[in-house]
Chains A and B, each alone.
Chain A
Amino acid sequence: MKNYIKMIFTLLFILLISSTLFAQESDYKITSDFKTNYDSIAIALSNASTVKQVDSLKQEIVLLDDEYFKYDELIDNSIYPSNYKAQIDELKLKSSTAEHRLLIIENQSERLAKLSQEVAYYKSEIAFLNTRADSLRKAIARSEVSEERLAGLVKRYRKNLELRDELVMDVVDSLMITYSGINSIKISEISNQVESGRITGTNPLEMLKNIIDENIEYASNTNKVLTVEDHLRMYALQHHFEEVWNRVGNKMITAYGGTENSEWNTAFTSKIKDWRMVTSQKMWNSMDKYLEFSDVELGAFDNNYSFFIALDGFVKEAQKKSNDEIISNESYQDYKKFQQFWSGKVKNEWSNLIQNTEVLTVAQISSIDEQLSSWEAEARPIHPFLLVLLVLTSISLGGYILVMSKSKKFS
């Protein structure tokens, strides 16, 4: 019995010794394994594409720390001048940064999905309004209806176009909100997600291209019944679109253009230019016709600058003409016509559109205002009563001088 116990103890001792021996590990291997695990977690954190993945990597960091904490001095020596604690802290920081970044991206994806839904809604609404506006335009052109009904149709046609422009403006503003705050890193992440198929749905670039195409078509086929205000609104829409595109266009092309970035860029540059030309030409033509109709004969203009020069020249010339006329009422009538256009339309009805589109700047409007005050002073004709009074005063003065000279002669 005693021998058995002795044997068991001996075996246990041998097992203990051998396990100690087997447990001996190379310090270099421990540190190398730590470095390998560290690098693999760090790379996984950089490549993580979901918050869930980061959460699992956070767990791995805890396990890594549990496993290697007891070798901290060894690892400190191995990775000098860094140290174990700094390495673990760095991994924890990386995981927090990755989690934050991915939360933003996931939020971004939700916003993009929402935008896609909005785009789909806008698309169907715009298509409906386009069809309705088309049929109205044709009916008006054919003059198939009574005058009273025609006036109603024109009103509806204009209202439809207004609604349509408002919707397009909404799309543009949504894009602005979505993309203006995104930095280049996030844009490239969206691009990667689009390319890898993680973001699907309507490509916003396609949708915008269609919007431009439709607007070019509509601006080209505008009916005579449209007013200067309608054309100014279309011009303002194009102006706003171009402004927003200049701010977010590059980001959108980077995000959604895939491998055809330069093609998209060229297409948008060319289409926006065409749109600008059509709306600008139509707007200036309608302005010119309106002024002609209002008997305000300005010089030729086809852009913001030449429009101001024409206005300025007209007011200066009219002021000079008024200065030469003393009794005539004609120049004052010219002044009144211009004043009606200036105060009634430019400074009142079209005020917002004119300022938003920079058709006239505030300084230019003030300059014309000042000249108008002088023109009014020059052009205002003398009141008939004042004229009679003047004649009577002159006669009285003449009579008095005559009487005085005769009495001097006799004395």
Chain B
Amino acid sequence: MKALQKTSFGVIMLGILFFQACNKSLVVKNVNYAQQIESVLIPDEDGTVTDIRYGISYSILPFQFEEFEDSSSVQVTEVRMIRNNQGYYFITADRFKHVYVMAPKRGELKLEKKILVDEEGLLNPAFNWREPVVQLINDSNKVVILLNEKGIFKGEVSS
């Protein structure tokens, strides 16, 4: 009886180990998603922007609604987008007051952080990637702001 119990225990343990081995997914650490140069995207008549090089397409209208509370027609002429090393997308446009940090999800972009950068609205904004932050250049006040996925970056960065 005891021998039977021992055998059953051994079989169960082996089964658990086998199940765990099958269930374990492959994970690659330290992936750098950083985009070296920002993408400048032109919305089509439906407000969709497409980045052929980096393979992403989405509508700019939700962002436009957030900024101007109007998505009845496309008012954005040019979308500025860059991706940091963590894989977050930084999106903004001319006259936007915010930079939107978006996390890529399955079939969607989810807002991670909405960063207020200019109360008056940006003028000819541009992103640069300066490891480990995103640099935002704003023509309206000639100010350079450093950003990460958490908000405005306060530390030192060698440009």
Collect the chain B residues with CB atoms within 8 Å of residue A28's CB: 37-38, 40, 126-127
* Shortest Cβ gap from A30 to chain B (Å): 9
Q: How far is the CB of B84 from chain A (nearest CB, A)?
A: 14
Q: Select A26's contact among B36, B128, B142, B143, beta carbons within 8 Å.
A: B128
* Docked-complex contact A27 and B142, CB < 8 angstroms: no
Closest Cβ neighbor of B124 among chain A residues:
A26
Interface of A is mostly: helix
For window 27-75 of A, CB contacts with B under 8 Å fall at 27-29, 31, 74
- Cα(A18)–Cα(B144), bound, Å: 10
CA distance A78 to B36 in the complex (A): 8
Docked CA distance A28–B127 (Å): 8
Say yes or no: A27 contacts B40, CB within 8 Å.
no
Which residues on the B side are within 8 Å of A22 (C-beta)? 142
Complex contact B38–A27 (CB within 8 A) = yes
Number of residues of chain A lying within 8 A (CB) of chain B: 13
- We find that the number of chain B residues with CB closer than 8 angstroms to chain A is 14
Q: Are A31 and B135 in contact (CB under 8 A)?
A: no
When distances are taken between beta carbons in the complex, the residues of chain B under 8 Å from A29 are: 126
- Taking the complex as formed, is B63 at the interface, i.e. its CB lies under 8 A from any CB of chain A? no
A24, A29, A77 interface centre (most CB from chain B within 10 Å): A24
Q: A24 near B37 (CB under 8 angstroms)?
A: no
Determine which of A18, A21, A25, A78 lies in contact with B37 in the assembled complex, contact meaning CB atoms within 8 Å.
A78
CA distance A31 to B39 in the complex (A): 12
Per-position binary interface string of chain B over residues 94-128, scored 1 when its CB falls under 8 Å from any chain A CB and 0 otherwise = 00000000000000000000000000000000111
Complex interface: chain B residues within 8 A of A24 (CB):
128, 135, 137, 144, 159
The answer to whether A21 and B38 have CB atoms under 8 Å apart is no
Docked CA distance A1–B80 (Å): 50
Q: Give me the interface of B with A, judged by CB distance under 8 Å.
A: 36-38, 40, 126-129, 135, 137, 142-144, 159
Known: A24-B144, A28-B37. 20 other contacts (CB 8 A): A21-B143, A21-B144, A22-B142, A24-B128, A24-B159, A25-B137, A26-B38, A26-B126, A26-B127, A26-B128, A27-B126, A27-B128, A27-B129, A29-B126, A31-B37, A74-B36, A74-B37, A77-B36, A78-B36, A78-B37
